[in-house]
Amino acid sequence: MNKLSVAFLVLSLSSVVSAGPTGHWLAKQTFPDGQTRETSLWLKADGNTLTGYMISPNQDAAPISNGKISGNEISFSVVRDNFGEQRKTDYSGTLTNDKLTLRLPGFGGRRVREMSFQQVSTEIPGPPPPPKPKISLPPAADVPSNGLAKTPPMGWNSWNKFARSVSDRVVRETADAIVKNGMKDAGYIYVNIDDAWQGTRDAQGNIRPNDKFPDMKALADYIHSKGLKIGIYSSPGPKTCANYEGSFQHEEQDAKTFAAWGIDYIKYDWCSASQVYDYHSMPAVYAKMGLALLHSGRPIVYSLCQYGVLKSETWGAKVGGNSWRTTGDIRDSWESMSHIGFDEQLDLAPYAGPGHWNDPDMLEIGNGGMTNTEYRTHMSLWSLLAAPLLAGNDLSKASPEIMDILLNKEVIAIDQDPLGKEATRVSKEGDLEVWARPLQGGAFAVGLFNRGPSTAKVTARWSDVGLHGSARVRDLWKHKDLGVSAEAFSSDVPSHGVTLLKLEPASK
């Protein structure tokens, strides 16, 4: 099971029998790297009714509602403020012997998860603590463009596969693999270290890497010696998502440190910034680092990771961003990938272009949670969306079939098309969708997608695509010319699959 999201809720049966669930319960995860994450649950039982509140990492206290006790079953809801919107999460638990497993529903494509608590007292809870005061920043002036990322960045990121276990050795081995397996030649040039590299700050406040990264400049030099670029990760909050040191109140200092190390790319993840900033200040907060990077003395691609909050597509470029996340985190499942890729990217195309890109999150291709058919859909859709292509698998163990997906140069060319126009959905009939984007020189890329449970015929009509007259059709996964079609093209597309086409006007 995933150590980041799954644990077991262990309760004392004798406590439940004698005092019920009343008291303070603590969920404490300890990770192999020594970092911890805690969630507190204060409960009060009154007959069959349950009240109290929950304090989650990087969240203020949230009261529980609709709390019920029925024999060995408990259930309740928690409503949290989620960047100005109220999000309700329903929890349920089953007591078995001396254990109670508390389940969280899957949402946004996530599977059902479980949490783990242990009773630390039987104290009756009082009212929840009030929210902590937040810093509110005035709107910031626009940050000038850094002139980078004229096409969507391509490379690799450590989190999806290695998470907290990333190390100097893993990064070097990945760089070696990128050179050896042809990914460098295909355009994958960024080797990005995600969370869990940070150590402590020295007496002058300079951030230092932890023991897994003995010399960050030497690592950057090694990556550069391979003809590649190196990326790093931080947060505008005091702590990162994995509870490491963030850049709060050290923005300029950290930007100069990153530049001195030779960093070429930074992913800047909101995380604990919610604990210190009013979320309405988010654009100004990101502008602080955007300006710091611009003045760092080194060109550094700036990737905003803020989950699409406050319509980030409307302000991401203004704060110096080269890309901005449009959704929550992706998971290695069809449900997550398809929800993020299809449902959450509608109406975003006008905001993408050379130097500034919508980012539906990293690639999960090769991590094992989807079929190769689904991974081809993943790669096709991200390329149509002009999204950053950041592989997230273990490249030292990737199968030939997975490498064929990642290295399809005809598909990559769609993503990297210099016109920089993102695809839009041009037709939808139930589970069947057609997405299309114009390409430089008058051609079009068209994806025929089948989100349904069985093979189905999908038709792309030239009138929907915006193409007038006949077109030469090429299948980019079969690497095969399919002749000239006058008005439309149909394909039998497998369940969760795609037919990806390039259309060129036949008159050319």
Amino acid found at 504: E
CA 78, CA 88: separation in Å to the nearest integer? 6
Nearest one of 36, 38, 88, 84 to 62, comparing CA atoms: 88
**Greatest extent of the chain over all pairs of C-alpha atoms, in Å:** 83
CA 392, CA 162: separation in Å to the nearest integer? 9
Amino acid found at 338: S
**Tokens read off for 473:** 């059709």
Instruction: Specify the 3-state DSSP secondary structure of 168.
Output: helix
CA 178 to chain centre: 22
**Tokens read off for 37:** 């994450």
CB atoms within 10 A of CB 317: 23
Catalytic residue among 195, 269, 359, 415: 269
* Pair type for strands 85-96 and 480-485: unpaired
DSSP one-letter code for 6:
B
Amino acid found at 394: D
Contact 361, 325 (CB under 8 A): yes
Amino acid found at 169: R
What would the DSSP string read from start to end of 20-80? TT-EEEEEEEE-TTS-EEEEEEEEEEETTEEEEEEE-TT---EEEEEEEEETTEEEEEEEE
CA 114, CA 389: separation in Å to the nearest integer? 31
CA 84, CA 297: separation in Å to the nearest integer? 37
CA 465, CA 482: separation in Å to the nearest integer? 18
Contact 264, 299 (CB under 8 A): yes
Alpha helix (H) ranges present in 104-156? none
Contact 235, 270 (CB under 8 A): yes
Nearest one of 88, 45, 90 to 70, comparing CA atoms: 45
CA 405, CA 400: separation in Å to the nearest integer? 9
CA 452, CA 261: separation in Å to the nearest integer? 48
Catalytic residue among 195, 264, 329, 359: 329
Q: Is residue 269 annotated as part of the catalytic site, yes or no?
A: yes
Catalytic center residues? 269, 329
